[in-house]
Amino acid sequence: MKFANSKSTKTESSDRNSSSKPYLTIVNQDNRCIAKTLLGVPFNDRLNTIILEDTDCSDDEYLMPKREKNVLSMFRYADNDVCSCSKQTPSQSVEMTAPLNWQDGLVTPLQRLDTIFSLSHLADVKIIFPNCLTTFKAHKLILATASPVFERMLYGETLEAKTGEICLHDCVPDAVKWVLENLYTGKTNLEHVYLALPVYTVAQMYQISGVVDLCVEFLKGEMNVSNLSSIFKVARIHSEDHLMEACLKKITSSWHEVSKDRINRISEEMWQHMLKTDILPISEVDLFKALILWCQTKLEEKNESLSPSSVREILQKFLPNMRLFSMTADQFIDQVMPTKVFTSEECTMLLMRIRGIQVNLPAKLSCSSLPYSRIAITDDSLRCVVLHRQVESKKFGSTQVKKITLIENFTTSFPILIHHIQTHENNTIMSAEMTLLDNDDRVIGIAKPTGSQWKFIKPAFLYANKAYKCIVSKIVVYNKVSPKRDFCAHACDIRFKGSTTDHFLRLSFWPAHPRNS
């Protein structure tokens, strides 16, 4: 049943006033007018009126005054609409599907929302899917409060706002149903990964942030070698860095199993992502051997020959990101050459480059020119270096500053990943924060103080021979103040250079080892 509010027409009979008056029109689901009344009559008289069911009316017909039959107890007005007897269709309508006094017994807001969702009561928008008969009825206000996309879609100058119909492309109906149940009833239980993935896609498309976070945490917890590829594919499409990082950690933590028995579970996209990353606790030799095995598995799946040339054909797309020059000569001779994916001439040129002899490589042999390994984050590989120590210095009283540049023009000869920086033990730090910036003032990392240590919230990656600076902001209290001094230190065959205003600096880091280490 639908209700519409409009003005009387010029053709109305003379027993009405000549001026236009508003009236209420009641139509059924087929848009047939079943009753209509002036809005000028007293409210009580309008509530206690007989409903003329399934009968058409003309412009001169009105609801009669109070009768002893059916009582109309709920209306909704829609401005500028007229009834079907005027041969116009209301542009907005709501579904009146709940029984009388449906509110009885509903105590909490979730109970009420659950009821109007299950009964489609007062629904004013329909969700449809292309090439699918499944539909859902919903409420614009509920969708708009959860999604800025739906808000603009349903309350702007859009086709969806005019028709009250949304067509969801590239969405799985079961996933949309789950999202609606979450919005109306607070449902949080995701039964399995292959439901969570399409639910995550819907939530990302329509910016329902609460559901996105819920899915990400669920997928992290349910991630395993079997579903890793599916999760990574969806995470990459939506640039979900946290989820892609979790996939990478899962691979590396299960590398012994994956590299031997489950190598086919790694997708091409995952391989490309792994080979492009600078932080990976897997040696280049192990990556190369696993990649060769993956290429052979792909050939077996296609029932093709496992010849070295066929393997090379698949391997070719990965070569630009392979760090062959980070291997030692012995590693290359013992592990790479026996695969025969490179010709004798190519092996000779690669060995010359590994040994530091500059030769021009053919385009077909183009690989990463980086001569250092990827960084492995483990407790055993964490290293320390004292950057600066000043034994004697002039003492001053305590000084409070809001901002100080602790380190300037800081460079390293090889990439490193900083874990924390330790300053002078007599410095008192209150509510401070350290920011690591590059020369373009882009934030590389943020560290918080723990005593005299500044631990980075997330390890900060520094590229080789690129200048950085550390700025301490908020409130810093120093018992000793020193002019800026240059420093130069060495550790793990890496050179550290820069300048500092502190008396003592110690750096804890993970190194990217040169090939001869």
On the CB side of 326, CA atoms within 13 Å amount to 24
pLDDT in tens, 320-366: 999 999 999 999 999 999 999 999 999 999 999 998 888 888 888 88
Percent of the chain with pLDDT over 90: 45
Mean pLDDT of the 114-136 span:
85
Chain-wide mean pLDDT for the chain? 79
Per-residue model confidence (pLDDT) at position 71: 32
pLDDT in tens, 431-474: 788 999 998 999 999 998 887 788 999 899 999 899 999 998 86
Q: Which residue has the higher pLDDT, 434 or 8?
A: 434
Residues near 136 by beta carbon (within 8 Å), at least 6 away in sequence: 126, 127, 173, 176, 177, 180
What Cα–Cα distance (Å) separates residue 170 from each residue in 128, 195, 228, 374, 483? Answer: 12, 15, 22, 38, 62
* pLDDT reported for residue 399: 59
Res 134 pLDDT > 80: yes
pLDDT reported for residue 97 = 65
The DSSP H or E segment spanning 388 is strand 383-389
Whole-structure pTM value:
0.67
- Domains in the chain (CATH in brackets) are 1-93 (no CATH), 109-210 (3.30.710.10), 283-365 (no CATH), 383-511 (2.60.120.820)
